[in-house]
């Protein structure tokens, strides 16, 4: 492919001539972007998933355009070139445009048009850069605009990554947490509110809360997905469909659904889909919700495992790697740390996406490549983090029973079980007396008039982890003694 011995070739567009690297399949318009927007370096390139999605759209358009008069041989060559882009083999060398480009993804669309065009020219035996017999705009971009290709490609890329990566990973970490909830269902421990001792619950109940948090997030993602399945192909420049044929949109979207295996449909309003990127801020908001839940979960796991001897230490995490370059034997909650950093990035991405989506003006939003790059990064980071945290952290969590029992025995908030029998005020005095005098709750209760028999009958942690059957009593249930 494009193995000219010359270092550069000369190409021209409406603004004049430019030199383009001879070994590249992109052309003059991509080169202009590289000249005028050298922002961020090689690591700030348009996302791989977006390039693949653009190629899917271009392939569908070529095949439908053949039905509307495009030379079948050109359509086949374009389709074959798109397949090579979709395979990933052309991305590294031929799709260099940065995220930080002008317009609503014009450079990304032009880059794809040029690469697909030149590869199609090669397939047909022509010379790269001549625009013969395939033209990047007249043929590859036939009946299209950046303003319907890029929004549709954004939706395709994000929907694909969510289905392929994020949802399976979230289900995996949810499954891992659920397995621990079942494993720990009989282990009674101290609960905590305000990071202070509270009434007991089981370790399994605590983990079941994490399961439900993730279940809510998964359901929210699934509820948002149908919005991503709406594509504005055929809307062209501003949603009117200028330079397009009737039913082109339906035929293209049907092919995209066939190629991807996802239920894409034509959006009911191409003006909204062209002018706004609300579906992106919607899905980013859900990702922000998931990041919030995962931050809470990872922090709880971090604190419960703190120690191992001078912290809470109720659970132990797998010992995956040394935690310090100076303190021998130190093991840190590394996956909790990593998850926290990922979630912070996702939250930051959501802020940027929110600002960008709010700044669409009239019939177009011009920040789309930044928007989709942030969404795709959030999806990928959350998916990867959930998968490795489940595998290397949660699956290996063990309960430290002796520590849990010690904390439970020393918990002053077991006094809550006395409320129905002696009242809140008297129970409070017992708890504070025990705390100030360094006594156990049982010892303090005995000194304040509660017999050992009464205390043992009333204060049973196993009866404090769920509501108890109602047992009617005559008169007041509170002993005011």
The pLDDT tens digits of the residues spanning 129-160 come to 999 999 999 999 999 999 999 999 999 999 99
Contact 279, 155 (CB under 8 A): yes
Question: How is residue 46 annotated by DSSP?
Answer: P
- The answer to whether the pTM exceeds 0.85 is yes
Instruction: Name the average pLDDT for the chain.
Output: 95
Q: What is the DSSP letter of 47?
A: P
Examine the pLDDT at 476 and tell me if it is beyond 90: no
| Domain span(s) for CATH 1.20.200.10 in the chain | 153-230+270-402
| Structure letter (DSSP) for residue 98 | B
Q: What is the DSSP letter of 45?
A: B
- Most distant CA atoms of the chain, gap in Å: 102
Helical ranges in 68-166 per DSSP H: 72-86, 91-94, 106-123, 146-161
Catalytic residues: 194, 324
CATH, range 15-142: 1.10.275.10
Where in the chain are all domains bearing CATH 1.10.275.10? 15-142
436-453 tens-digit pLDDT: 999 999 999 999 999 999
Q: In this predicted model, what pLDDT tens digit does every residue of 190-236 receive, in sequence order? A: 999 999 999 999 999 999 999 999 999 999 999 999 999 999 999 99
Question: How many CA atoms does the CB half-sphere of 25 hold within 13 Å?
Answer: 28
d(CA 45, CA 162): 21
Q: Residue ranges of the alpha helices (H) in 393-423?
A: 401-410, 419-422
Can the peptide bond before residue 162 be classed as cis, meaning omega within 30 degrees of 0? no
We find that the CATH architecture of domain 153-230+270-402 is Up-down Bundle (1.20)
Nearest to 296 by CA among 168, 184, 210: 210
- Helix, strand and coil percent figures for the chain, each rounded to 5: 60, 10, 30
Tokens encoding 104:
């609503």
How many other β-carbons are positioned within 10 Å of the β-carbon of residue 232? 27
Tell me what pLDDT residue 399 has.
98
Report the topology of domain 412-461: Ribonucleotide Reductase Protein R1; domain 1 (1.10.40)
- Beta-carbon contacts of residue 39 (< 8 Å; ≥ 6 apart): 98, 99, 100
């Amino acid at each position: 492919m494009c193995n000219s011995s010359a270092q550069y070739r000369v190409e021209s567009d409406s603004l004049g001539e430019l030199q383009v690297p001879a070994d590249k399949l992109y052309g003059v318009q991509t080169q202009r972007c590289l000249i005028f927007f050298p922002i961020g370096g090689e690591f700030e390139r348009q996302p791989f998933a977006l390039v693949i999605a653009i190629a899917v759209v271009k392939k569908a358009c070529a095949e439908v355009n053949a039905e509307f008069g495009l030379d079948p041989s050109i359509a086949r060559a374009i389709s074959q070139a798109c397949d090579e882009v979709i395979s990933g083999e052309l991305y590294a060398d031929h799709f260099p445009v940065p995220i930080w480009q002008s317009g609503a993804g014009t450079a990304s669309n032009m880059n794809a048009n040029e690469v697909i065009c030149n590869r199609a020219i090669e397939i047909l035996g022509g010379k790269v850069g001549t625009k013969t017999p395939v033209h990047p705009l007249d043929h590859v971009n036939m009946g299209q605009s950046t303003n319907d290709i890029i929004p549709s490609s954004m939706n395709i890329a994000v929907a694909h990554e969510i289905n392929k990566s994020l949802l399976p990973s979230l289900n995996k970490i949810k499954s891992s947490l659920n397995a621990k909830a079942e494993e720990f269902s009989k282990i009674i421990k101290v609960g905590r509110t305000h990071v202070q001792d509270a009434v007991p619950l089981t370790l399994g109940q605590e983990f079941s809360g994490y399961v439900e948090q993730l279940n809510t997030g998964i359901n929210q993602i699934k509820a948002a997905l149908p919005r991503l399945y709406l594509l504005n192909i055929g809307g062209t420049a501003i949603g009117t469909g200028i330079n397009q044929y009737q039913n082109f949109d339906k035929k293209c979207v049907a092919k995209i659904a066939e190629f991807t295996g996802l239920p894409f449909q034509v959006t009911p309003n191409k003006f909204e889909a062209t002018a706004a990127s609300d579906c992106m801020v919607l899905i980013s908001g859900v990702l922000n919700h998931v990041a919030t839940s995962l931050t809470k979960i990872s922090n709880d796991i971090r604190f419960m495992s703190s120690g191992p001897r001078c912290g809470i230490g109720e659970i132990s995490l797998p010992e995956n790697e040394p935690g310090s370059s100076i303190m021998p034997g130190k093991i840190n909650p590394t996956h909790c740390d990593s998850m926290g950093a990922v979630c912070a990035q996702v939250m930051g991405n959501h802020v940027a996406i929110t600002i960008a989506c709010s700044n669409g003006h009239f019939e177009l939003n011009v920040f789309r490549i930044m928007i989709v790059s942030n969404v795709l990064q959030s999806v990928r980071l959350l998916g990867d983090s959930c998968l490795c945290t489940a595998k290397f952290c949660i699956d290996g969590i063990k309960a430290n029973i002796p520590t849990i029992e010690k904390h439970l025995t020393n918990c002053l908030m077991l006094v809550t079980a006395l409320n129905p029998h002696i009242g809140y005020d008297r129970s409070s005095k017992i708890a504070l007396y025990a705390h100030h005098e360094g006594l156990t709750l049982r010892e303090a209760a005995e000194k304040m008039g509660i017999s050992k028999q009464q205390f043992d009958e009333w204060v049973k942690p196993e009866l404090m982890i769920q509501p108890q059957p109602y047992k009617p009593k005559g008169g007041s249930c509170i002993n005011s003694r």
